[in-house]
Amino acid sequence: MYNLDMLNNKKVIGFICECNPFHEGHKRLIKEAKKEAEIIIAVMSGSFVQRGEPAVYDKYSRAKKLIKNGVSLVIELPIEYSLSSAKYFALYSVKILNSLGFVDKLIFGSKINNIEKLTKYADINLKNEKSNKIKSLLKIGQSYSKALSILYDKKLTSNDILAVEYICAIKSLKSKIEPISIKRENDLPTASELRKGISKKISNDSFSPILNYKILLAKNNLYNIKNTNLITDDVYNSMLKLPNNSNTFTKASKLLKTKNRTLAFIKRVLLNIIFDINKDDIININHFPKYMRILGVRKDFLSYLKNIKVPYLLSYSPSSYKAFVKNFSKSKEVILNDDTTFSLSRQMSINIFASNLYNLISKNNLKENATKVLIV
């Protein structure tokens, strides 16, 4: 059951986004969401996004935009999933919304804009996943989007692929969340078009020295990258053949790209190497979310935070850790040591490191260990 007086029987709708950057399409989605529910919950990628790049603006600025435009709560999607395949990006995001216990609907934009058709594609996806057909196609070098195109006998846009994955996630989790699609229009500037006009303080090439160092270690058998999330044997072998002389992130990405390896996929693999995200970190769906990091909240939603039963943090700071241990004593994500210091889980440590590195290189004066939840 949903909304068992947890939010005074108010209807709640969720959506999943990156806001890279926030644009008119997001405003349109929020406007349509308000027609369906009184409270809007957003799950948003943090410092790095699914196209395999650092976000153009920091996650707190983007969360603030969402809240000022009517979103009640913004939850960060952990980097392991924002830099993973569409399947796990969608699955973890939907799992977060489902685990809250009070989200009734999920809204998203799609070109197809027909829930019945999207659901049919989701059923094809789930059926072939059980028969390992998707894995077989990936194993012979097909990209994920190409593998899906073969299964569907139709090439879908990236937004439609995500829409299908959201429905797959709802079905896999046996969730009662209702999927709602709105038409994705072409009359607005896309996020990609808007990014071209933004002067970036940080790019993938900012991480070139770290990438070169890790690949060099791997070539000399001093560092194992074979278990990196997303990496395949053919990508691994190609990586070991990269020249040692001054590989920028961009140059390495282009050298590793092939007909069946999209540039976005390669960039995600390389960032997974940089942040030491392994296949083991993409854990079984029954075990997550282990905790949630809340980035922003509207003042009128503050009183409802106590109804969230999943362990959550308002900041990565000692005061927040102390409250975490007190309120979620069974969770092993934060452990209070005998000397009153705290030990953090691997997932938490990876996410703190990724954001701190983003903040350091972009010179935005933010400190992940001290930045508290935004209250607007």
What's residue 186's pLDDT? 73
Per-residue pLDDT tens listing for the chain (376 residues): 455 567 888 999 999 999 998 888 899 999 999 999 999 999 999 999 999 999 999 999 999 999 999 999 999 999 999 999 899 999 999 999 999 999 999 999 999 999 999 999 999 989 887 667 777 776 666 677 777 777 777 788 889 999 999 999 999 999 999 999 999 877 666 777 777 777 777 999 999 999 999 999 999 999 999 999 999 999 999 999 998 877 899 999 999 999 888 999 999 999 999 999 999 888 766 677 999 999 999 999 999 998 888 999 999 999 999 999 999 999 999 999 999 999 999 999 999 999 999 999 998 888 887 788 878 7
263-274 and 249-256 helices cross at what angle (nearest 10)? 130
Q: Residue 251, exposed/middle/buried by CB under 10 A (0-12, 13-18, 19+)?
A: middle
Beta strands 334-336; 342-344: pairing state: antiparallel
- Answer left, alpha or beta for residue 113, where phi above 0 means left and psi between -120 and 50 means alpha: left
What's residue 2's pLDDT? 54
The domains of the chain are located at 1-200+284-376, 204-281
CATH architecture of residue range(s) 1-200+284-376:
3-Layer(aba) Sandwich (3.40)
CA 370: distance to chain centroid?
22
